[in-house]
């Protein structure tokens, strides 16, 4: 039973609690035992808070079994990227700089999860400050791909993706300033959503670059992404300062894409940065699948992906320099080499460069908004290359900047990445769907229609199961 529990979705667990086929304590205990046995192989968690998780699970069990189920996340285990504050647990950002950082307050998203009755399992590994990459200089070992530990699981929410793909948790919360939710989601055969900018509060999240950074859910199914976002929005709606007008229309999630107008952005991966042929082929097949499901797919042209990327990086690096300058001056040796180099680039950007980038950003937002005048959802590449080997530094560096995710950090449109096939190395290929701002309902419905039509993720390997 324990291996079955590992692969149940959050929605399936909530149903099992309602029918008393499973209890939150049984589930949490089973997942903790699984992590204690196997996480040393893939390094997905930095801090596992077993004791508190079991206490929360006991309370959830009592409430649910006494007819007081709070909602779809009650008693559901969730892991958090270790740049999200949980009162009393270290927020290290996977860096020597913050080894002694002990927050006193929960991040806003953590308060929401607690109000929904979710069980916080602990803090997950990441790229240092959501910036760097795998490095032997890190204070904790970097995460590894659970399908094949020689491969990179994507980042920067690496541990969040690895934990899901290892059957350690049905839900993770990550952050995404340049693709950090969508990259590991696509690389590990999962679903990751960067919601509309500011839809989920960043309070209590260590900042990378506040104007392009987003908090969002990662899961193994589209439904779990929808349910998690819905629960967090519902809780926020009770607070006047965070009231959201968004309605995810969950009852319509299964209603398909018939008549939806899908804009296929080919220029990103066919002209601007030519993608690996396996990805091009997979993206074409995504378009054909959606057409078979009744969507109307047409080509849409956006500005060159390099323009988005340059504007994004000038803003991101300027803001990151502002955060890190004091430590770069006093503790530069406590950063890993990749992070030190990336963060320091912001020192060489001027106020004039930032103003120019912000002006360009407005124009790029206008171009994406104009595209949404003609279509309901955009279909684009996420990664432009298959998942690479983690020890291959040259390939890591080459592929690091080759993706089509940062355009939508810049514009604030919601963007979801998910699996679109398998490469010849056996690891997942990915696709990205993008919605109008606050258009998550249509975006999730499209992703669900694709998930249902392809069944890619239901055939994924189940690591550590004999």
Which positions touch another protein (CB under 8 A)? 303, 306-307, 309-311, 313-314, 317, 325, 328-330, 332-333, 337, 340-342, 344-349, 353, 356-357, 359-360, 363-364
From CA 408, how far away is CA 432, in angstroms rounded? 11
DSSP three-state, residue 261: strand
From CA 247, how far away is CA 421, in angstroms rounded? 31
Closer residue to another protein (CB): 19 or 330: 330
Closer residue to another protein (CB): 349 or 396: 349
Closer residue to another protein (CB): 237 or 331: 331
Question: From residue 116, how far is each of 72, 158, 225, 234 by CA, in Å?
Answer: 8, 25, 15, 9
Closer residue to another protein (CB): 66 or 329: 329
- Minimum CB separation of residue 230 from another protein in Å reads 37
Catalytic residue among 81, 96, 123, 194: 81
Catalytic residue among 125, 156, 157, 187: 156
Strand locations in 159-234, DSSP E? 171-176, 191-194, 214-219
- Minimum CB separation of residue 317 from another protein in Å reads 7
Closer residue to another protein (CB): 161 or 303: 303
- Minimum CB separation of residue 392 from another protein in Å reads 19
From CA 21, how far away is CA 32, in angstroms rounded? 19
Closer residue to another protein (CB): 278 or 353: 353
Helix residue ranges, H only, 351-455 = 351-371, 393-400, 406-411, 440-454
Clarify whether 180 is annotated catalytic: yes
State CA 293 to chain mean position distance: 26
Clarify whether 81 is annotated catalytic: yes
Closer residue to another protein (CB): 410 or 449: 410
**Residue 102, C-beta contacts closer than 8 angstroms, at least 6 positions apart:** 88, 89, 90, 91
Structure tokens that stand for 440 in this block: 């998550």
- Minimum CB separation of residue 332 from another protein in Å reads 5
- Minimum CB separation of residue 343 from another protein in Å reads 8
Clarify whether 157 is annotated catalytic: no
Question: From residue 456, how far is each of 65, 189, 420, 460 by CA, in Å?
Answer: 35, 8, 7, 7
**Residue 222, C-beta contacts closer than 8 angstroms, at least 6 positions apart:** 191, 253, 418, 444, 447, 448, 451
From CA 267, how far away is CA 436, in angstroms rounded? 20
Name the residues annotated as catalytic. 81, 156, 180
């Amino acid at each position: 039973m324990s291996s079955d529990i590992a692969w149940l979705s959050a929605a399936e667990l909530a149903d099992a609690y309602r029918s008393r086929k499973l209890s939150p304590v049984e589930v949490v205990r089973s997942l903790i035992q699984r992590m204690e046995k196997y996480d040393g192989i893939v390094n997905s968690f930095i801090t596992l808070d077993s004791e508190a998780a079991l206490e929360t699970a006991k309370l959830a069990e009592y409430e649910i079994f006494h007819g007081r189920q709070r909602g779809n996340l009650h008693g559901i285990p969730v892991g958090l990227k270790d740049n999200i504050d949980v009162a009393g647990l270290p927020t290290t950002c996977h860096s020597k700089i913050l080894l002694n950082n002990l927050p006193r307050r929960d991040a806003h998203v953590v308060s929401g999860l607690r109000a929904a009755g979710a069980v916080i399992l602990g803090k997950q590994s990441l790229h240092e400050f959501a910036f760097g990459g795998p490095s032997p200089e890190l204070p904790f070992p970097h995460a590894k791909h659970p399908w094949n530990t020689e491969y990179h699981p994507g980042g920067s929410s690496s541990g969040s993706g690895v934990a899901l793909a290892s059957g350690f948790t049905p839900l993770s919360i990550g952050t995404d300033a340049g693709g950090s939710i969508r990259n590991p989601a696509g690389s590990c055969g999962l679903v990751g959503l960067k919601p509309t900018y500011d839809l989920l509060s960043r309070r209590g999240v260590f900042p990378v670059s506040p104007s392009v950074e987003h908090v969002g859910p990662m899961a193994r199914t589209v439904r779990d992404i929808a349910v998690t976002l819905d629960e967090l929005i519902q809780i926020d709606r009770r607070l006047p300062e965070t009231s959201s007008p968004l309605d995810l229309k969950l009852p319509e999630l299964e209603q398909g894409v018939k008549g939806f107008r899908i804009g296929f952005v080919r220029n990103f991966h066919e002209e601007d940065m030519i993608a690996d042929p396996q990805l091009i082929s997979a993206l074409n097949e995504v378009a054909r699948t959606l057409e078979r499901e009744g969507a109307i797919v047409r080509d849409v042209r956006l500005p060159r992906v390099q323009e988005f990327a340059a504007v994004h990086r000038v803003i991101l690096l300027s803001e990151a320099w502002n955060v890190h300058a004091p430590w770069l001056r006093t503790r530069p040796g406590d950063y890993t080499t990749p992070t030190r180099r990336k963060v320091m680039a912001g020192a060489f950007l001027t106020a004039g460069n930032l103003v120019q980038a912000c002006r360009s950003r407005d124009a790029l937002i206008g171009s994406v908004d104009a595209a949404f005048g003609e279509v309901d959802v955009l279909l684009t590449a996420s990664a432009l290359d298959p998942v690479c080997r983690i020890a291959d530094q040259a390939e890591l560096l080459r592929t690091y900047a080759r993706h089509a995710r940062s355009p939508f950090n810049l514009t604030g449109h919601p963007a979801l990445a998910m699996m679109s096939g398998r490469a010849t190395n056996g690891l997942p290929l990915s696709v990205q769907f993008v919605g109008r701002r606050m258009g998550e309902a249509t975006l999730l419905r499209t992703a669900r229609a694709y998930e249902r039509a392809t069944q890619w993720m239901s055939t994924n390997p189940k690591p550590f199961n004999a």
